[in-house]
């Protein structure tokens, strides 16, 4: 009898471990899908700035598709990085692109916003990420200002007594008040949230990860049938809202921090044969909902940048 009980206990334990391993295997890909952008730039003395963008795939087993590509640098992006381009598997290298523009005055923020889409089994995963290019070094031919300092040096030699008396007095008071006055004028900007959207055979789930240094906001979501839900996002927390999926489902999203709205249609994954929208789904789809993935909407992160300092602009 003791041996029989031991065999039953061992069988139950093994079954539980196999079940947990299956859930972990299914849920982990859902949390991983995202583009990995990076950027660097160099500025020439004539104001010309060259920006190099690079985007990696977070997934090592499937390719993605670039569904959105926006840059604050004027002009087209040359190279393989383009709208509707295939994002290679991570081991196959990144997509790269280059932009060049001549800026007058202060250099603005050089930012790239990119959205990628993956189709994995019975779910569609979309996620958007943004990156600000970082400086590398001065580039381009620079003219040396050597002739100007050499010419005044011989003329200044007969008057050595006046130069040391006049130079220290104006330079000290001019530099000291300038630095403290410029420091407080630069406000600290909040971090942008990460928007995700996951569409499975029976659910359309909106997810927002708000960073600790983000801003609080509320998104009101209304279907074409008039069903309304609110997603309240607080800094340092993750919030989500789900709708039962069906053919023709459309969700209109409106934020309390900006004007305008965006309507997002439901897209049914390919591997939903025999299930249909709205029917219960078990296995991989349920694990995918628990894991979370994909972008809230195409213009999501841009809305909060706009709310801080730019005009409102929605993209599909």
CATH T-level fold of 190-316: Immunoglobulin-like (2.60.40)
* Arithmetic mean of pLDDT, 60-82: 94
pLDDT at 157 over 90: no
pLDDT of 79: 94
Cα–Cα separations (whole angstroms), residue 283 to 146, 199, 315:
73, 15, 34
pLDDT of 189: 72
* Arithmetic mean of pLDDT, 272-284: 52
Closest CA to 288 of 118, 81, 128, 97: 118
**Percent of the chain topping pLDDT 70:** 60
Torsion of CA 279, 282, 285, 286, to 10 degrees: 110
- Residue 265 is given by DSSP the state E
In angstroms, the CA 291 to CA 197 distance is: 12
pLDDT of 3: 56
pLDDT of 62: 94
In angstroms, the CA 27 to CA 8 distance is: 29
Whether pTM exceeds 0.85: no
pLDDT of 257: 86
Range in 5-19, 150-164, 284-298 with the lowest mean pLDDT: 284-298
Highest mean pLDDT range out of 38-52, 124-138, 172-186? 38-52
* Arithmetic mean of pLDDT, 185-195: 72
What would you measure as the largest C-alpha separation in the chain, in angstroms? 113
pLDDT at 275 over 60: no
Give the model confidence (pLDDT) of 199-238 as tens digits: 999 999 998 989 998 999 999 999 999 999 999 999 999 9
pLDDT at 92 over 90: yes
**Mean pLDDT taken over the chain:** 74
pLDDT at 145 over 70: no
Give the model confidence (pLDDT) of 283-316 as tens digits: 444 444 333 333 344 344 434 444 444 443 433 3
Pairwise pLDDT comparison (5 vs 260), residue with the higher score: 260
Q: Where in the chain is the domain with CATH 2.60.40.2950?
A: 190-316
In this structure, whether the domain defined by 30-139 belongs to CATH 2.60.40 is answered with yes
Cα–Cα separations (whole angstroms), residue 248 to 123, 184, 224, 266:
17, 52, 9, 7
pLDDT at 168 over 90: no
With a CB cutoff of 8 Å and minimum separation 6, the contacts of 193 are 208, 209, 210, 211, 214, 233, 300, 301, 304
pLDDT of 2: 53
* Arithmetic mean of pLDDT, 263-278: 77
């Amino acid at each position: 009898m003791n041996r029989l009980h031991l065999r039953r206990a061992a069988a139950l334990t093994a079954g539980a471990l196999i079940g947990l391993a299956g859930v972990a295997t299914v849920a982990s890909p859902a949390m991983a899908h995202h583009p990995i952008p990076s950027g660097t730039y160099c500025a020439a003395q004539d104001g010309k700035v060259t920006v190099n963008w690079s985007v990696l795939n977070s997934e090592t087993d499937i390719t993605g598709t670039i569904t959105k590509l926006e840059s604050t640098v004027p002009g087209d992006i040359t190279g393989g990085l383009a709208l509707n381009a295939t994002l290679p598997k991570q081991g196959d290298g990144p997509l790269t692109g280059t932009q060049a523009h001549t800026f007058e005055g202060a250099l603005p923020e050089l930012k790239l916003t990119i959205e990628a889409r993956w189709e994995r089994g019975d779910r569609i995963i979309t996620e958007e990420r943004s990156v600000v290019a970082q400086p590398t070094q001065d580039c381009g031919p620079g003219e040396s200002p050597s002739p100007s300092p050499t010419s005044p040096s011989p003329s200044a030699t007969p008057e050595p007594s006046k130069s040391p008396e006049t130079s220290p007095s104006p330079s000290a008071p001019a530099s000291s008040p300038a630095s403290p006055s410029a420091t407080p004028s630069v406000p600290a900007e909040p971090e942008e949230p990460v928007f995700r959207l996951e569409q499975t055979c029976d659910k359309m789930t909106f997810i927002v990860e708000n960073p600790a240094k983000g801003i609080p906001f509320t998104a009101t979501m209304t279907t074409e049938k008039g069903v309304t839900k609110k997603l309240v996002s607080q800094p340092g927390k993750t919030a989500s809202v789900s709708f039962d999926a069906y053919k023709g489902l459309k969700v209109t999203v409106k934020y309390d921090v900006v004007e305008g709205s965006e309507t997002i249609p439901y897209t049914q994954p390919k591997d939903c044969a025999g299930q249909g929208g709205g029917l219960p789904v078990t296995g991989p789809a349920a694990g995918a909902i628990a894991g979370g993935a994909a972008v809230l909407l195409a213009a999501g992160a841009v809305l909060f940048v706009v709310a801080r300092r730019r005009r409102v602009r929605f993209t599909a």
